[in-house]
Structure 1
Amino acid sequence: MSAALSSGHPPAKIALRNVTKSFGHKHVLRGADLVIPKGQSTVIIGGSGTGKSVLLKCILGLIQPDAGAIEIDGVNILKEGAQSRRDIRQKIGMLFQGGALFDSLSVWENVAFGLMKGERMPAREAKPIAIKKLGQVGLGPDVADLFPAELSGGMQKRVGLARAIAREPEILFFDEPTTGLDPIMAGVINDLIRQCVADLGATAVSITHDMTSVRHIADQVAMIYEGKFIWSGPIDALETSGNPYVDQFIHGRTEGPIPLQVRSA
């Protein structure tokens, strides 16, 4: 199956059209094309340095692509004004790889950060919402007034997830959501991601190296290699993709078309 999903799938929530990005002489994105279906969980896989994180930052508006189009709900956000882009970003929730919690804020203040700063919601209204969202990720009210440093890595990841869903976004981004977690806690986070996406009816986009996580949270999978999407399709087709790059990557084989990245001393 090509990188653009077929017309038999749900309508596109996000569409990437020939997106390119270079940093000096380093070409990171070389014409990335991908359609991300509405209301489904799409996972982007690929090795280090293939452009996954840069692509995510382009969609979020943190990096400006050199060329191409990024459409959300049919609107090319690269051609919109600053206010329109801010409005579009209000639809998005993000779980960062390292949690990215504010050390000086309590847990509930972290969860409610977007509500209070983005929507100017008073603290007395925001705190009950934050506690409710913490409950949705399996954390009790007793955690609300603690600080991030008092939590385990798995609990911090749950707090990050609660913050991502606090504003009930239409789109959720997950950047390596299980990195640094033991297999049991990684399974918990994967379950929570599936549940939160289902509860919100959201469109989810994840980037990860963790194939266990891919198989658990993905409806659709897309592989990026050397700045282009070389395959995409439903999770059920991943093992039989017929693409040698995909096959090598998902099985972690040293032999195949993807060369080993070895640095000289």
Structure 2
Amino acid sequence: MTDALPPMIEMRHVAKAFGDKTVLRDVHLSIPRGTSMVIIGGSGSGKSVTLKCILGLIEPDAGQIFVDGHDMHEGDRDAFLARFGMLFQGGALFDSLPVWQNVAFRLLRGALKRPKREAREIAIEKLRRVGLTPDVADAFPAELSGGMQKRVGLARAIAADPEIIFFDEPTTGLDPIMAGVINDLIREIVTEMGATAMTITHDMSSVRAIADDVAMLHDGVIKWTGPVAEMDRAADPYLQQFIHGRAEGPIEAVR
């Protein structure tokens, strides 16, 4: 009988402060492989800092972060980052590059470098997967609508077939219909790839569409975590105030 596989991502006692402002106090979080975790919380609650700590873009002041059972500082840094894909808030496309080069950005350089023709073919296939036709490949980001740009960003996130995908506010700036399309695409793609996903958002429609599990981050700690199916009946007052958008409750509105 073999031991159970470790979580794909695990945070233990993670803390981070910037000067006299403490952002993360004592964060514990476990994301099983092949599942979709959504972290919710108000602006300034530490969601983006959590993501950046996992990627190694910010060094925690205390605690440990493990990826696939190994301390994130172990081994080759490039190999570590090659395991991740990322959909940035707002798309973050390179205006000076045609769409296919945006999608194939990591495949044209570094450890994942492929021949240019192969990289272009992969880019076009990923564009098809997110519902964009091959003629979009040679367009520039400025020629596309916001929804199309978001799809290009999603195609770029999956171009190298990553094991772990991060989604940073994936529906920001989109109308409700396009937001629903993006949520559905994310769910389908993560399931098809068998990837582990972590999303940070305050959009509750995204939470319900994308999540297997939800974690509520407030005041630097995880207040509640559990399956999305249990979210609505959970007793935690912080969670209930946030998901229902109530002005009254333990979370103080910033005025």
1:101 equivalent in alignment to 2:89: no
| 2:59 partner amino acid | Q
Equivalences for residues 135-174 of structure 1 within 5 A: 135-174=128-167
For the residue of structure 2 that corresponds to 1:144, the secondary structure is: helix
For residues 131-180 of structure 1, give each alpha carbon's deviation from its aligned partner in whole angstroms, at most 9, with x where no partner exists: 00000000000100000000000000000000000000000000000000
Distance 1:56 1:200 in 2: 21
| Aligned residue in 2 for 1:28 | 23
| Aligned residue in 2 for 1:200 | 193
| Aligned residue in 1 for 2:175 | 182
| 2:146 partner amino acid | G
For the residue of structure 1 that corresponds to 2:117, the secondary structure is: helix
Shift of 1:10: 7.7
**Count of residues in correspondence between the two structures:** 251
| Aligned residue in 1 for 2:105 | 113
Structure 1 residue runs of 4 or more that deviate by more than 3 Å after TM superposition: none
RMSD: 1.1
1:71 equivalent in alignment to 2:66: yes
| Aligned residue in 2 for 1:49 | 44
Distance 1:66 1:13 in 2: 22
Distance 1:11 1:69 in 2: 15
Shift of 1:11: 4.4
| 1:67 partner amino acid | A
1:247 equivalent in alignment to 2:240: yes
Shift of 1:35: 0.3
**TM-score with structure 1 setting the length:** 0.93
1:126 equivalent in alignment to 2:119: yes
Gaps of 5+ in 1: 1-8
**TM-score with structure 2 setting the length:** 0.96
